[in-house]
Amino acid sequence: MVECNEQSKLKNIELLKKYKNTESIEEKKRVKEELVLLYESLVYKLARKYKNAPNIDLEDLVQTGYIGLLESLERYDLERGLEFMTYATVFIDGKIKNYLRDKTQLVKPTRKVIDTFFVYLKAEEYLRTTLE
């Protein structure tokens, strides 16, 4: 869980520095796992915002959020002075929104469009039966 006191912020910055500057693949993997565990509560918090999306499981949203977290770890630049949690939030939320956009229908058609669609379906059925 991510804490917001000064000591934990310094620890997080040290972990991020270690992740960016480590050459050893094993050490980098270990630090990455530690960072992911540290920020998993952020992923769950952002995924729960969208838990009421139709036909979407919370676990799918969480997995997508983890992908966003991993991308933010790779792209984060310590030199810019931006807090990592702020940076990661944008990536995680963006990944989840993209997933939802791809999996759900965000724009609902108006009632008039739906009614017109059914009129066309009835007309098509009528023409098929009369022309056969």
In single-letter form, the type of residue at position 61 comes to L
Mean pLDDT of the chain: 88
Q: Closest Cα to residue 81, out of 1, 22, 9?
A: 9
Cα-based angle 93, 99, 100 (whole degrees, multiple of 5): 90
pLDDT at 54: 79
Count Cα neighbours of 56 within 13 Å in the Cβ-side half-sphere.
24
pLDDT at 74: 92
Which residues of the chain fall short of a pLDDT of 50?
none
Torsion of CA 73, 78, 80, 83, to 10 degrees: 70
Residue with tokens 């934990």: 8
pLDDT at 45: 95
pLDDT at 60: 93
